[in-house]
Chain A
Amino acid sequence: MKMLVVEDEQGLAESISAYLSREGYRCEMAATYAEADEKMYLYEYDCVIVDLTLPGGDGLQLIETLKKRTASTGIIIISARNALEDRIKGLEVGSDDYLTKPFHLSELNARVKSLIRRRNFGGHNEIQYREILVQVQARKVFVNQQETVLSRKEYDLLLYFLANIDVALTKASIAEHLWGDHIDSADSLDMVYSHIKNLRRKLVEKGSGDYIRSIYGIGYKFGTA
Chain B
Amino acid sequence: MRLLEKTNRIYLLFSVILYLATALAFYGIIKWLIYDEVENRLLVEKRDFQLYIQHYGWTANSYFVENKIEVELGSVPSGFKESFKDTLIEDRYTQKLVPFRQLTFYESIKGVEHRVAIRKSMIQSYRLMEAITFTMATVLALLLAGTYWFQDRLSGRIWQPFYETLSRIKQFDLVRGQHLQLDQPDIIEFRELNEVLQKMSDQILHDYLHLKEFTENASHELQTPLALITAKVEELIQSEHLTENQTRWIQTIYEASLRMSRLYQGLLLLARIENRQFANEQPINLSDQLLERLRDMEELFQYKGIRLHTNIDAPFWVNLPPVLAENLITNLVSNALRHNVPQGEIWLYATDSDLCLSNTGHPLQNAPKDLFSRFKKEGVSSESVGLGLSIVKEICDQYGLQIHYTEQEGIHKFCLSNKTVVA
In the complex, the answer to whether A187 meets B235 with C-beta atoms within 8 Å is no
Q: Mark A180-199, 1 if CB is under 8 A from B, else 0.
A: 01111111101100100000
Q: State A89–B383 Cα separation when bound (angstroms).
A: 32
CB pair B221–A217 under 8 Å, yes or no, is no
Binding site for B on A (CB under 8 A): 9, 11-12, 15-16, 18-19, 78, 80-85, 100-106, 153, 167-168, 170, 172-173, 181-188, 190-191, 194, 215-219
29 contacts between A and B (CB under 8 A): A9-B225, A11-B231, A11-B232, A12-B231, A15-B231, A15-B235, A19-B231, A19-B234, A78-B227, A80-B223, A82-B265, A82-B268, A100-B223, A102-B228, A102-B258, A103-B227, A105-B231, A170-B237, A173-B234, A182-B330, A183-B334, A184-B334, A184-B384, A185-B381, A186-B383, A191-B300, A194-B303, A216-B244, A218-B247
B244-255 contact mask (Cβ, 8 Å, vs A): 1 or 0: 100110110011
Residue of B nearest to A186 (CB): B383
**10 nearest A-B residue pairs (beta carbon):** A80-B223, A102-B227, A15-B231, A101-B227, A217-B247, A101-B223, A102-B226, A182-B330, A102-B230, A168-B237
User: With A216-B247, A217-B244, A218-B251 known to touch, is A184 a contact of B228 (CB < 8 Å)?
Assistant: no
A139 to B235: give the CA distance in the assembly, Å: 30
Task: Provide the bound-state CA to CA distance between A167 and B238, in Å.
Answer: 6
Q: How far is the CA of A216 from the CA of B221 in the complex (A)?
A: 33
Q: Say whether B338 contacts A185, CB under 8 Å.
A: yes
The minimal Cβ–Cβ distance linking A31 to chain B, given in whole angstroms, is 13
- Are the C-beta atoms of A185 and B383 separated by less than 8 Å? yes
Contact A15 to B338, CB < 8 A, known contacts A172-B255, A218-B250: no
User: Which among B224, B235, B299 is the interface contact of A101 at CB below 8 angstroms?
Assistant: B224
Give bound CA distance, A175 to B221, whole Å.
25
For this complex, into which size category does the number of interface residues on chain B fall? Answer: 35 or more
> Does B323 touch A at the CB level, under 8 Å?
yes
**CB-based contact B228/A187 at 8 Å:** no
CA A126 to CA B368, docked complex, whole Å: 55
Taking CB atoms, residues of chain A closer than 8 Å to B334 are: 182-185
CB distance from B230 to the nearest CB of A (A): 5
Complex Cα distance, B383 from A195, in Å, reads: 21
Query: Is there a chain A Cβ closer than 8 Å to B411's Cβ?
Result: no
Shortest C-beta distance, A161 to chain B (Å), equals 15
Q: Which of B229, B237, B262, B338 is packed against the most chain A CB atoms within 10 Å?
A: B237
Q: Which residues of chain B are within 8 angstroms of A194 by Cβ–Cβ distance?
A: 303
With A101-B226, A194-B303 known as contacts, the answer to whether A184 contacts B231 (CB < 8 A) is no
**Chain B residue at minimal CB-CB distance from A188:** B300
In angstroms, Cα B229 to Cα A11, docked, is: 9
With A101-B226, A102-B226: A80-B221 Cβ-Cβ less than 8 Å: yes
Q: Which residues of A contact B254 (CB under 8 A)?
A: 170, 172
Contact yes or no, B262 A184, CB < 8 A: yes
Task: Return B340 CB to nearest CB of chain A, in Å.
Answer: 10
A105 in contact with B226 (CB, 8 Å): no
Q: Which residues of B contact A11 (CB under 8 A)?
A: 228, 231-232
* Chain B residues near A15 (CB-CB < 8 A): 228, 231-232, 234-235
CA distance A216 to B237 in the complex (A): 11
| Cβ–Cβ < 8 Å partners of A215 in chain B | 237, 247
**CB-based contact A83/B272 at 8 Å:** yes
| Residue contact B303 to A184, C-beta cutoff 8 Å | no
Closest chain-B Cβ to A41's Cβ sits at a distance in Å of 26
Nearest CB of B to A164, in Å: 10
Residues B235 and A9 in contact, CB atoms below 8 Å apart: no
Whether, in the assembled complex, B304 has its beta carbon less than 8 Å from a beta carbon of chain A, the answer is: yes
A145 to B223 alpha-carbon distance, docked (Å): 45
Residues of A within 8 A of B231 (CB): 11-12, 15-16, 19, 102, 105
- With A101-B223, A105-B235, A218-B247: A184-B383 Cβ-Cβ less than 8 Å: yes
Which of A18, A19, A82 is the most central at the interface, judged by chain B CB atoms within 10 Å of its CB? Answer: A82
Complex Cα distance A156/B254, Å? Answer: 23
Q: How far is the CA of A83 from the CA of B277 in the complex (A)?
A: 9
A3 CB to closest chain B CB, in angstroms?
Answer: 16
- Are the CB atoms of B227 and A12 closer together than 8 Å? yes
- For B234, give its contact among A82, A153, A170 (CB under 8 Å): A170
Q: How far is the CB of B398 from chain A (nearest CB, A)?
A: 16
Chain B contacts with A in 326-345, Cβ cutoff 8 A:
330, 334, 337-338
How far does the alpha carbon of A131 sit from the alpha carbon of B238 in the complex, in Å? 25
Return the chain A residue nearest B249 by Cβ: A217
Least distance between A14 CB and chain B CB atoms (Å):
9
Distance in Å from the Cβ of A47 to the closest Cβ of chain B?
Answer: 18
Bound Cα distance A78, B221 (Å): 14
Residue of chain A at shortest CB distance from B269: A82
Whether B194 is near chain A, meaning CB under 8 Å from some CB there, is no
In the assembled complex, the CB of A212 is this many whole angstroms from the nearest CB of chain B, namely: 16
Q: How far is the CA of A114 from the CA of B295 in the complex (A)?
A: 28
Q: Does B257 contact A (CB under 8 A)?
A: yes
Tell me, in angstroms, the Cα distance from A105 to B228 when the chains sit together: 10
**Bound-complex Cα distance A172 to B230 (A):** 11
Please determine whether A105 and B220 come into contact, CB atoms closer than 8 angstroms: no
Q: Which residues of B contact A105 (CB under 8 A)?
A: 230-231, 234-235
